[in-house]
Amino acid sequence: MRIDIITLFPEIALAPLSESIIKRAQKADLVEIYAHNLRDWATGKHKKTDDYLCGGGQGMLLKPEPIFAAIEELSTEESRILLMTPQGKPFKQVMAQTYSQHKHLIILCGHYEGVDHRVIDELIDDEISIGDYVLTNGAIAAAVVADAIIRLIPGALGDERSHQEESFSDPNMLEAPAYTKPNDFNGNCVPDVLLSGNHAKIDAWKKKQALERTKKNRPDLLDD
């Protein structure tokens, strides 16, 4: 897979993708990641990438011309083009699974008040939000989305089972609480059942705990 991120802040997008599992996935040629500076496609003396809103309003908007030029240069028949924006569809694990099967993703990062709507009309396949809050720029969101996608590419995680049991592999249930050693930490003990070796009992305990946790932290998932 190849991922091209278009942003005014390539370093922000790349930093979280340059360590640990995602670094190893790149070394193993499972994914190629490129972060491009949108300014490289801006023309004129000042290489302007933004401008005032038509009709008035606070802030600046990314101009269409450099974005059209960037996407014309980077896209192929196989590209899926995503825009990071708080106005987008909420990003979910099932979307990460679908995108992890694509050959080429282009992730365009919004900045300031966003992008000229003609970009969305003509170039963007999916508008994506990583949550109901506003970040200073979409490069942070692009790194989050890229990370969630890349770790699902077969071979990226050492143990293939590790993403079968985790939260959101069942999209309506969180994971059960987990413990490691020591068995007794300042009087707070690992539940006996987890030390029992009885796998049927352990599975039943995990299911019950997962449900309790979901009820407490994400009751909305159980309404779905």
Residues that bind ligand ADE (CB under 6 A): 84-86, 110, 129-131, 133-135, 138, 141
Q: Which is nearer to ligand ADE, 33 or 82 (CB)?
A: 82
Q: Which is nearer to ligand ADE, 68 or 112 (CB)?
A: 112
Minimum distance from CB of 54 to ligand ADE (Å)?
A: 21
Q: Which is nearer to ligand ADE, 33 or 176 (CB)?
A: 33
Minimum distance from CB of 157 to ligand ADE (Å)?
A: 24
Query: Tokens 């922000």 sit at which residue?
Result: 12
Minimum distance from CB of 82 to ligand ADE (Å)?
A: 10
Rounded CA Rg of the chain: 21
Cα–Cα nearest to 98, from 143, 135, 153: 153
Q: Which residue is nearest to ligand ADE (CB)?
A: 141
Minimum distance from CB of 123 to ligand ADE (Å)?
A: 16
Three-state DSSP string of 94-154: HHHHHHCCCCEEEEEECECCCECHHHHHHCCCEEEECCCCCCCEHHHHHHHHHHHHHCCCC
Minimum distance from CB of 144 to ligand ADE (Å)?
A: 8
Peptide bond into 154 cis (omega under 30): no
Minimum distance from CB of 130 to ligand ADE (Å)?
A: 4
Q: Which is nearer to ligand ADE, 140 or 210 (CB)?
A: 140
Q: Which is nearer to ligand ADE, 90 or 155 (CB)?
A: 90
Q: What are the backbone angles phi and psi of residue 81, rounded to the nearest 5°?
A: -110, 115
Q: Note whether 114 and 62 are within 8 A (CB).
A: yes
Query: Tokens 């801006």 sit at which residue?
Result: 42
Half-sphere exposure of 122 (CA within 13 A, CB side): 12
Q: Which is nearer to ligand ADE, 135 or 173 (CB)?
A: 135
